[in-house]
């Protein structure tokens, strides 16, 4: 019985997500133009908006990855420091 409730909940949540996606596509069916510096992006809103969102997500993820790797390198450098005894 517990698995059946989880299965129903799973399908209800996925159905709601699908409904939101369909509404998003219908409301953003018009062609849009984005201009950034010299770059001009033209396309359907429902395709352009997610691409721009994913580019922003990717850039923030890469920045955090870079910072994390930089901290690891600094920690390794500190661990490799040798001290001379008097």
Helix-, strand-, coil-residue percentages of the chain, each rounded to 5: 70, 15, 15
Residue 1 confidence (pLDDT) above 80: no
Residue 33 confidence (pLDDT) above 90: no
What does the angle CA 13 – CA 56 – CA 27 come to, to the nearest 5 degrees?
50
What is the tens place of the pLDDT at every residue in 17-32? 889 888 888 888 888 8
Coil vs helix vs strand at 32: strand
Q: What is the 3-state secondary structure (H, E, C) of 33-47?
A: EEEECCEEEEEEHHH
pLDDT, mean of residues 72-79: 82
Q: Compute, in degrees rounded to 10, the torsion defined by CA atoms 53, 58, 64, 70.
A: -160
- Residue 75 backbone phi and psi in degrees, to 5: -65, -40
């Amino acid at each position: 019985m517990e698995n059946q409730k989880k299965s129903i909940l799973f399908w209800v949540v996925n159905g709601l997500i699908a409904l939101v996606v369909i509404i998003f596509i219908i409301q953003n069916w018009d062609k849009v133009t984005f201009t950034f510096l010299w770059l001009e992006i033209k396309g359907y809103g429902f395709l352009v908006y997610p691409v721009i969102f994913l580019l922003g997500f990717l850039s923030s993820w890469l920045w955090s990855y870079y910072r994390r790797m930089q901290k690891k390198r600094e920690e390794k450098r500190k661990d490799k420091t040798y001290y001379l005894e008097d």
